[in-house]
Amino acid sequence: MEIQSNRRKQKIVAGKFQLFFIFKLCAIFFLALLAIIIIFIIWNNIQFRQGFLTRLPENEAVAVWAQANNIQAGSADYWQKFVIDADVYTFFDIIWKPLIFMAGINFIILIIFGIEISFSVAGPIFKIIRTLEKRNNGETGLKIELRKKDPAYIQRLADLINGSISENTDKY
């Protein structure tokens, strides 16, 4: 006795619907990302006008400069050179790379879940359409059978269609 697997391997069954669904999810994602970036830029300009962090120049470079200009190590001019040559970082300078990295990971997760979520709707609808097309082509005794894990509202739709098909078959 052979046990049939009811698992489908193909996840894209209603291409236009599923791709449009994923596109809508991605558009929402990118709008949210854009809003976050704008908030970071505005916050950066308000909060950190003076600079958030600094990267000081290499000690050896300042020592060579001090020696060339006859400035004693440890003097006020020596330390002032560190401050003048320091690179000022803003909050956005620090956060943009992790933000883009996390956005990329979230985008990949969004596509994977978008395919899964759209499949949970498109798969049963595809099955209903295919069964009704067979019925319209003259095949009889067909019943729409969905997976147990398919959404309840689509299960209910299939039951209603099955009921109306059986009623119409009984009348004729």
Burial class (CB in 10 A: 0-12, 13-18, 19+), 74: exposed
Q: Give the pLDDT mean for 86-90.
A: 72
Cα 49 to its chain centre, rounded Å, is 32
Give 170's pLDDT tier (boundaries 50, 70, 90): low
Query: What is the pTM for the complete model shown?
Result: 0.51
Give 152's pLDDT tier (boundaries 50, 70, 90): confident
pLDDT at 103 over 50: yes
Count of residues for the chain?
172
Integer Cα distance of 132 and 139 in angstroms: 9
Say what the pLDDT of residue 2 is: 41
Please name the residue that has the structure tokens 């943009």.
96
Say what the pLDDT of residue 1 is: 35
Q: Give the pLDDT mean for 98-105.
A: 83
Question: What is the residue type of 26?
Answer: C
- DSSP states of 97-126: HHHHHHHHHHHHHHHHHHHHHHHHHHHHHH
**Could you read off the pLDDT of 6-51 as tens digits, one per residue?**
555 777 777 777 888 888 888 888 888 888 888 777 776 665 555 5
Burial class (CB in 10 A: 0-12, 13-18, 19+), 125: middle
Say what the pLDDT of residue 46 is: 63
Percent of the chain with pLDDT over 90: 0
Q: Nearest-CA neighbor of 81 among 60, 103, 57, 53?
A: 57
Integer Cα distance of 128 and 121 in angstroms: 11
pLDDT at 138 over 60: yes
Burial class (CB in 10 A: 0-12, 13-18, 19+), 99: middle
Q: Give the pLDDT mean for 150-160.
A: 86
Say what the pLDDT of residue 77 is: 82
Q: What is the rounded average pLDDT for all residues in the chain?
A: 77
pLDDT at 132 over 80: yes
Please name the residue that has the structure tokens 């879940």.
113
Integer Cα distance of 111 and 22 in angstroms: 6
